[in-house]
């Protein structure tokens, strides 16, 4: 299935992206849900899949985590089931993310899908990330408040909420409508009917995550072995003092590590190409031989990229799920990064080079790409 998003991107980015929430009425005209509530409930029964059930009764909130064994105990109102990274597990849903590739792949996270019965929702809360919430079947009332510092509280240990807020957006979403919410705007959605919501979520690393990720890289690559040195050790009045120039020197040592553009690029590519959610990796059994892959592609077969696999490019290098990939076949590397589906034509001459074919074979035998159909 192909989804066509009615959106003027330059205008959207200028007026709303990271700035203001907005309802994109009929963003997806004639929207067709890529999966059914039953299929979603089935996914939430699988142990690898990350899911939650949130319910409330008279202001008391309950959260339980999947995998779920049955749904028999649930009533007809006030609950919602939420499944993370469905695009990793259910191929057709990934199509919903494609129209958002107008925004860069590295900023995209996953597709979270929820099914809610009347009254169902997770309550008023704020998120750290941008999100496009697409309405599928059913109607749901969404309220969004102004961005402001808000106290958060936990009505249940696994649920972070904010106090009631007054709305700047208060609308009933119908199938194909999209609500965009930048980070920090309080919001809540209450279902009016049995309804499905598809959340295309973004990611943005915090300084803390960057520092900690870079520190891991420094250790792993055994960088920064040089020690603090002071052949001109400055005299001081009090032996207990650390002088400003000494502090500055220690700081400069750390900054110099980050300031190496080549290392920084290599680290960032590895870091940001790692997914935050488990991948559905199923390596082919038995593994393919290079000539089998060559023949299949030459006969017109196509390769699909594993759902949720992050393939990013910095200059001439591509990064796949935390690993760096180099090849003199620039165009073929670009094709790996650019296209979700590959064929012989997109890979071009590289297919004739045994070393590229060996690399491709390894990617396929790792379960990162698989033959369609």
Q: Which residues bind to Co ion, rule: CB under 5 A?
A: 127
Q: Is the peptide bond before 39 cis (omega within 30 degrees of 0)?
A: no
Are 290 and 361 within 8 A, CB to CB?
yes
Q: Is residue 87 near ligand SIN by the rule CB under 6 A?
A: no
Which DSSP string do the residues of 149-210 spell out, in sequence order?
Answer: ---EEEEETTEEEE----EEEEEEE-TT-EEEE-TT--EEEEESSSEEEEEEEE----HHHH
Q: Is residue 197 near ligand SIN by the rule CB under 6 A?
A: yes
Q: How many Å apart are CA 61 and CA 26, to the nearest integer?
A: 32
| Residues 133-162 interacting with ligand SIN (rule: CB under 6 A) | 133
Nearer Cβ to Co ion, position 65 or 249? 65
Q: Is residue 122 near ligand SIN by the rule CB under 6 A?
A: yes
Least distance CB 199 / ligand SIN (angstroms):
5
Least distance CB 107 / ligand SIN (angstroms):
17
Query: What is the radius of gyration, based on Cα positions, of the chain?
Result: 25
Least distance CB 39 / Co ion (angstroms):
23
Q: How many Å apart are CA 67 and CA 176, to the nearest integer?
A: 29
Which of ligand SIN, Co ion, none is residue 114 near (CB under 5 to 8 Å by kind)? ligand SIN
Nearer Cβ to ligand SIN, position 133 or 293? 133
Q: Is residue 78 near ligand SIN by the rule CB under 6 A?
A: no
Q: Is residue 195 near ligand SIN by the rule CB under 6 A?
A: no
Sole residue written with tokens 């207990």: 240
Tokens of 191: 């279902």
Least distance CB 166 / ligand SIN (angstroms):
18
Q: Is residue 175 near ligand SIN by the rule CB under 6 A?
A: no
Q: Which stretch binds ligand SIN (CB under 6 A): 98-106, 120-128, 166-174, 209-217?
A: 120-128
Q: Is residue 273 near ligand SIN by the rule CB under 6 A?
A: no
Q: How many Å apart are CA 341 and CA 348, to the nearest integer?
A: 14
Least distance CB 102 / Co ion (angstroms):
22
By CB under 6 A, the count of residues binding ligand SIN is 10
| Residues 21-40 interacting with ligand SIN (rule: CB under 6 A) | none
Secondary element (H or E) of residue 66: none
Which of ligand SIN, Co ion, none is residue 91 near (CB under 5 to 8 Å by kind)? none
| DSSP-based helix, strand, coil % in the chain, nearest 5 | 30, 25, 45
Residue nearest to ligand SIN (CB): 114
Non-local (6+) Cβ contacts of 359 within 8 A are 325, 327
**Residues at the contact surface with ligand SIN, assessed by CB under 6 A:** 80, 114, 121-122, 127, 133, 187, 189, 197, 199
């Amino acid at each position: 299935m192909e989804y066509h998003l009615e959106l003027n991107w330059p205008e959207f980015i200028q007026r709303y992206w990271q700035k203001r929430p907005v309802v994109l009425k009929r963003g997806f005209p004639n929207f067709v849900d890529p999966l059914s509530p039953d299929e979603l409930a089935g996914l939430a029964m699988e142990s690898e899949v990350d899911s939650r059930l949130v319910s409330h009764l008279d202001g008391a909130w309950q959260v339980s985590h999947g995998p779920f064994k049955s749904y028999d105990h649930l009533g007809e109102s006030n609950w919602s089931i939420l499944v993370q990274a469905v695009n990793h597990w259910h191929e057709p849903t990934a199509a919903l993310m494609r129209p958002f590739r107008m925004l860069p792949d590295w900023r995209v996270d996953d597709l979270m899908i929820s099914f809610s019965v009347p009254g169902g929702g997770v309550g008023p809360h704020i998120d750290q990330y941008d999100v496009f919430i697409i309405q599928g079947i059913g109607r749901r009332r969404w309220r969004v408040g102004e961005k402001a510092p808000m106290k958060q509280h936990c009505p249940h240990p696994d649920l972070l909420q904010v106090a009631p807020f007054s709305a700047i957006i208060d609308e009933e979403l119908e199938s194909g409508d999209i609500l965009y919410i930048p980070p920090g705007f309080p919001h809540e959605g209450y279902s009016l009917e049995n309804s499905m919501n598809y959340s295309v979520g973004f990611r943005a690393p915090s300084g803390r995550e960057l520092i900690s990720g870079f520190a891991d890289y420094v250790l792993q690559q055994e960088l920064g072995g040089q020690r603090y040195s002071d052949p001109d050790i400055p005299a001081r009045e009090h032996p207990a003092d650390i002088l400003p120039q000494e502090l500055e020197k220690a700081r400069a040592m750390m900054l110099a590590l980050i300031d190496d553009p080549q290392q920084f690029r290599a680290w960032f590519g590895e870091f940001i190409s790692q997914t935050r959610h488990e991948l559905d990796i199923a390596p082919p059994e038995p593994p393919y031989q290079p000539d089998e892959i060559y023949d299949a592609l030459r006969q017109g077969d196509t390769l699909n990229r594993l759902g949720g696999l992050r393939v990013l490019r910095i200059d001439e290098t591509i990064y796949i799920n935390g690993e760096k990939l180099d090849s003199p076949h620039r165009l073929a590397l670009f094709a790996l990064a650019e296209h979700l589906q590959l064929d012989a034509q997109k890979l071009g001459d590289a297919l004739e080079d045994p070393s590229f074919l060996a690399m491709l074979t390894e990617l396929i035998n790792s379960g990162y790409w698989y033959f369609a159909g």
